[in-house]
Amino acid sequence: MSIKISSQFDAGAIEIVNATSANAIDLNIRKDSHADITQWFYFRLQGAQGQACTMRLLNAGQAAYPAGWEDYNAMASYDRINWFRVPTTFDGQVMTIEHTPGMDSVYYAYFEPYSFERHLELLDRAQMSEGVRLLDLGSTVDGRDLNMLVIGEPAAGKKKVWVIARQHPGETMAEWFVEGMLDALLDPAHPFARQLLNETVFYVVPNMNPDGSVRGNLRTNAAGANLNREWLQPTMERSPEVFLVKQKMHEVGVDLCLDVHGDEGLPYVFVAGSESLPNFTPEQAAAQKRFSDDFKIASPDFQDVHGYGESPYTEETLTMGSPHITHAFGCLSLTLELPFKDNANDPDPQVGWDGARSARLGAAVLQPVLQSIRALK
């Protein structure tokens, strides 16, 4: 059987330069469908069982975040359920994956994928729980459903907690995080969940960018828009996903918001806040610190030593989700970043950071959310 490379499946993305010999497979990372951004890859290799394969991604040095390839190992799977890391090197221009497949068919990806089918299953499973409504906010550029889960019974005095994920579709760890959070929140025996649903209503958008997810984009939707730069003036033509979610936020209100992302370069879990806003108050700074301090207790995977640091206020600031929401609602709104690589504070050579660890972090976030909500009273 000759070797074959393919990517015609949900989120698949690669360009074949040469694939005639297992020890000299040359590939290019494909651009986002409507934007000049290269980073996400996901492809299938067949016919190379037992052969030492060398796969060179020739344009890795021209990727959107070339620092993301430093100290990085690609992910692989035989069944798309169990993923593991494989040896990967980067010389500043070419990234090389070396692996001897144990099966006839193997998949390689930038990070553990989260399929659109699993997304739909997550929504369906959640709506079967008591006190959950599945709402359709509208349609994406490609005509896919943009869904939101409302968890808890709205009532006077209850706080509104928003969690949105995958504005950047290739950051699949964000939806793995949401899955873990929902499993915990909908567990009737979970003590933090029980307390939270007595005091709050959750508004959860597990996937802000379904089109980009299916298309295999890293950062943009089907119109080429980076959704996390569309919050100031979204339109139904270019960024309906942000337009519809922002519209709903103004309809129901926001007391706390988490915007979940993945970071290509930093091997840590951390948050980015809204301290660059000119009207950022000492009370808001204290709320950010309280959340971080409580999250460190809830999960050793979270830390506040490494992160983006303070950045100046610019014209771009209010185009981004978290600072825009803080500015609009005066609430605690944080960007939560999870790594593509590993957690350097607790590395796992076999899997690195993966979907399961993201989900466990999602379950742990209930504790700092509860403490933050109670501090508002």
Which single residue is written with the structure tokens 């339109």?
235
Q: How far apart are CA 41 and CA 262, in angstroms?
A: 15
**329 sits in which H/E element:** helix 321-329
Q: How far apart are CA 262 and CA 337, in angstroms?
A: 5
- Closest residue by Cα to residue 17 from 32, 28, 30: 28
Q: How far apart are CA 209 and CA 99, in angstroms?
A: 32
Which structure tokens are listed for 334? 């944080």
Q: How far apart are CA 265 and CA 308, in angstroms?
A: 11
Q: How far apart are CA 146 and CA 12, in angstroms?
A: 21
Helix axes 191-199, 366-375, angle to 10 degrees: 40
Q: How far apart are CA 225 and CA 228, in angstroms?
A: 9
Residue partners of 77: CB distance under 8 A and separation at least 6: 83, 84, 106, 107, 109, 112
Coil, strand or helix: which one is 305? coil
Catalytic center residues: 337
Question: Cβ of 4: how many Cβ atoms within 10 Å?
Answer: 13
Which single residue is written with the structure tokens 């499946």?
9
Q: How far apart are CA 237 and CA 234, in angstroms?
A: 9
**What's the number of CA atoms in the CB half-sphere (13 Å) around residue 353?**
33
Which structure tokens are listed for 169? 């579709």
Residue partners of 310: CB distance under 8 A and separation at least 6: 275, 276
